[in-house]
Structure 1
């Protein structure tokens, strides 16, 4: 190779490396372009939380449902059209997913001070972190620089884990997104806050199998309580119960205590006791709440980097509900 060709190759390599660096998410990404970005999102989350404490769980779940479908690109926010049913209107998201108005409020404020700068995908990531913090979980830095996707398909929400999954299915589902089994157990702890619609677990109460009406792994006293809250055959969409009744608005290890007491609400929660490794993780998290909080924060940061669009990919939506025309 001639000296000129070698120099050209080195220049090309440097340029490629620079482009890769530009494409990475960065903590403090908006420091120069919109310095108030994270503060504005935090204000909107805080305001909404004091009106309805359950919105924190909704925003954390929204981040999860965004990232596990097409990556963290804000596609979960896009409205359906006559020709396309979007993610937010799939059965797994509608009517259970909430917090959209918080994202709308934050986006409107950000557009008024930094037009066309802050992505909807980053707003979701910031709002999820703020929701963990405001419910007494560990705060963490959010690397930003995500851009918004332009595609949202309800059919793709099949990649989200089902509340009926067993431990092997959960492990594989999370592995598909780059997570270890331990990280799966860690992130499952997000169920320590928030609520669930009765339909998500009613099979465990009334139609568990051909020979059993009730899931035998469910604590009988807890099952009786749930049956009072969720009568058989009820189709009331407003029928909801807390995921962790003892502290539904606190990010703590109460979720894991419930599992040890056979009071995990979903089959996908209680199944963590059926595998020696995941059962050990559940018990370890109960014994070491500080360590779990740190692991959870780290896992949230990792989740926020699934399939992100950066650089010139995607767009910065002017309105989080609609792709730019």
Structure 2
């Protein structure tokens, strides 16, 4: 009978090799149990990364769409709120301006004029709304407030009025200021500071884009500002206007605001339709993302039961190896014989 012996040094190296291998296996299985992902992705996909790469790329695209839908949704919401503020002002005060202006009652006219002094500031403040530092009514120039402050706009209009104290002259000057085209020296040149171009289209899914085109140069906004400005002038800060002129300005202001309110409804409806489209796109993107996550997990996720079973087995083997190593290290010649 032949006997094969293993030298002490060879035995040490053999035990070390087994120890290292088992330690690495325990570490790998522990990582898989903790993360839930297979450590060797290449082995998990059989060396073919085509499907996994396609899924990862799609998930990255969906993440970018998610960010885009969040941003454009906030922009649309801010636009809707601002236009709502302006329309509420037109609805609440437009009819009163027509009624009180027509009656010519000095006390009521004075009360309404006091409110009119703050109305222009309210509208301008709404137009200068921003989301994360981006002004929503400035078109493509999102880093610039769309309109000058209310006091500066009032000064610009009063310069255009040029000291005229008749209702017809003042109304004509205010209309000319807000209706003037770009280059005509009116609102678009002096008061509007945004871009002539609307916000660019935002891609919210693979085949959908959203574009919010309302800016502070839109006609319904200019009409609202026109009506508020006429009411502001009717407040008669310098006392140069007669009650008859002030009443006529109030009636005109109310008429302009009431008409602007109807235009505002159309703009708010278009924004509302965009909000629905954004929400639908976000819902579809979330559903697609969930499906892709499941598909990716099926490729690279470590099966919990198998992993835990293998981990326990590896730990038991490592403990057995430690025990064997300990016994061998204590073995004496007498024990061996």
* Structure whose CA Rg is larger: 2
TM-score range, shorter chain: under 0.3
TM-score, normalised relative to structure 2: 0.20
Higher helix share: 2
TM-score, normalised relative to structure 1: 0.21
Q: Which has the higher contact order (CA 8 A, sep 6+)?
A: 2
